[in-house]
Amino acid sequence: MKQRKVFGVRQQVMHPEKVEQFLNELCQNPPKNIAELEKRKRSFSAREKVPPILNRDLIMVSAGKDIPRALGKLLQKRAVRTISGVSPIGILTKPYPCPGRCVYCPTEARMPKSYLSSQPAAARAVRNNFHPFRQVSGRIAALEDSGHPVSKLEVIVMGGTWSFLPHNYQSWYLKKVFDAANESNSQTTNYKPRTSKNLAEAQKINETAEHRVIGLTLETRPDFINERELVRMRKYGCTRIEIGVQTLDDDVQKLTKRGHDRRHITRAMRLMRDFGFKICWHLMPGLPGSTPQKDIAWMKKVFEDEDCKPDFIKIYPCQVLPNSELQDWWKEGKFGPLRDAELVKLLLRFKTFVPPWTRIMRLMRDIPVSEVLDGVKFSNLRQILKSQPEKLRQIVGNDFKPSPGGWICQCIRCREVGFSSGGANSNSLLQEPVLVRRDYKASEGTEVFLSFETEDRAHLFALLRLRKPSGQKFSHFGSVLHDAGLIREVHSYGTEIAVGDSAGVGQHRGLGRRLIEEAERIVRDEWGLKRITIIAGIGTREYYRKFGYELRSTYMTKNLGK
């Protein structure tokens, strides 16, 4: 019988008995930091005459053992990957024609438009022939090998305009995503695959799987958003939509051949919000036809205009990339991108008016510097803005005038307990979290941002997004969306803790439950509505069932008594 190929299989541990011996020594006397850990690894290898022991080997041998939490953190590779409480997994669809003609997008052969094969996620996709099962399985294996709990997967599907792909390919693709997540014991060659006949069955299995897809993100354009498309996305299990807004300047959109304008954005935002989706905008300062002054003006409107106000932001400054029409403009002297100092000054101003209910997910695309023909070439712009004042001063010169506490950004990511606790007073993180409420108008409805934070609002532990819809009616899902309060997101921050494990600084402390109870009170007592509906990821359905919610029309919903 032909043996089935397993993707993401771990390499075997060399000298497992010695590795286990060393792990026992570490457990008895844990190292204080990475430097001490590396020194003891070298000393042990020399003493026992074995090759250098890798963190991966220690992690694999420690499976099923109760090791000190501090030691586990030292063994983790790139702990920041799961510091927001989930394991993000970015995957690409295979190359398909793109409906757009944007001048700034590279058109590399055999790649989805706007992506380069040298980008990390794209390179992984190429190695796996863009197969979704292989990409997801490989990422799960890599994260587990690095010491990360991988029970809560946030899958981000990239590759251009999702809505333009054939529907049969979409359904097949996402079934394979869930199939990969549903595999049990995939780190061994003796695993028993949990197969499914269709997407719906794969999703049902995933509700209680070891690796649960708690969030699914799809990328598209504002002009492709309509009710039918959103219904399809919900059936796929999508919880967040990323749209390429790029700019709010319609003249710039026309010049760069983007193909949509403010009207499309306004309409799409109201539809997506009233369906309960979380929404991320891609913004592109420095486009042809714009200036830093114009960029600041429209970027400020992103948070002031009630037709806008996205939940998440990704900033992709315009760069001159190979195989793009913009490359020709640049060669002809018709365009010059923002340089380092100009962009940093712009972003410093931008971050001062980002509201506390928005999360800046990215400040740069992960394009290798070697691919950038002209434009900003930083690979660590966020770190420079946040924690490298001397480097910042070198870039912007005398314009750098931080406040005594440094540049303060209110965005969610800068205040997440996992990211902010490193330089924080540990005593502040032991305080009882304070419930904070912020209300704002958006897309003809009311948004309530509930959160648990420290008293000084510097550190964020958990959040909930609640919406009172605009009142528009839909031909689908009316039984759960009409006349209901919508919970669009519930998230507890802090390093990911596996489902069923004990509480940490942010997760599994009951904060999510308390936020849901407050949201139910607001919907019932303040808004006078009798139903509350949650746009729940497939892997979170069991969590909401514990609070009396039931699955109806892809949502978790609950009738509220008097």
| C-alpha distances in Å from residue 46, one per residue of 35, 53, 279 | 17, 11, 53
pLDDT for 7 equals: 45
Query: 251: alpha, beta or left, given left = phi > 0 and alpha = psi -120 to 50?
Result: alpha
Domains of the chain: 16-75 (no CATH), 80-220 (no CATH), 262-356+370-410 (no CATH), 415-559 (3.40.630)
pLDDT for 342 equals: 87
Euclidean distance between the first and the last CA atom of the chain, given in angstroms as a whole number? 62
Nearest to 460 by CA among 499, 409, 399, 500: 409
CA distance linking residue 207 with residue 496, whole number of Å: 18
Residue 165's Cβ-side half-sphere holds a number of Cα atoms within 13 Å equal to 26
Burial class (CB in 10 A: 0-12, 13-18, 19+), 547: middle
CA distance linking residue 377 with residue 554, whole number of Å: 43
- pTM for this predicted structure: 0.84
| Helix/strand/coil (H/E/C) assignment for every residue in 89-128 | EEEECCCCCCCCCCCCCCCCCCCCCCCCCCCHHHHHHHHC
Blockwise average pLDDT, block size 10, the chain, 562 residues: 41 72 83 80 82 73 72 62 71 93 92 89 92 93 76 92 96 96 61 77 95 96 97 98 97 96 97 98 97 95 97 95 96 93 86 92 85 84 66 67 61 81 50 93 98 92 97 95 97 64 54 96 97 97 96 97 69
Q: What is the DSSP string of 271-334?
A: HHHHTT-EEEEEE-TT-TT--HHHHHHHHHHHHHSTT---SEEEE----B-TTSHHHHHHHTTS
- Supply angle C-alpha 440, 446, 452, rounded to 5: 60
What are φ and ψ of residue 100, in 5° steps?
A: -90, 160
Q: What is the DSSP string of 160-196?
A: S-GGGS-HHHHHHHHHHHHHHHH-SSTTSTT------
Cβ neighbours of residue 395 closer than 8 Å, sequence gap 6 or more: 340, 341, 344, 384
Q: Return the biggest CA–CA distance within the chain.
A: 73
* Other CB atoms within 10 Å distance of the CB of residue 52: 11
Nearest to 271 by CA among 312, 243, 247, 237: 243
Tokens read off for 447: 């948004």
Identify residue 482 by its one-letter amino acid code. H
Burial class (CB in 10 A: 0-12, 13-18, 19+), 471: exposed
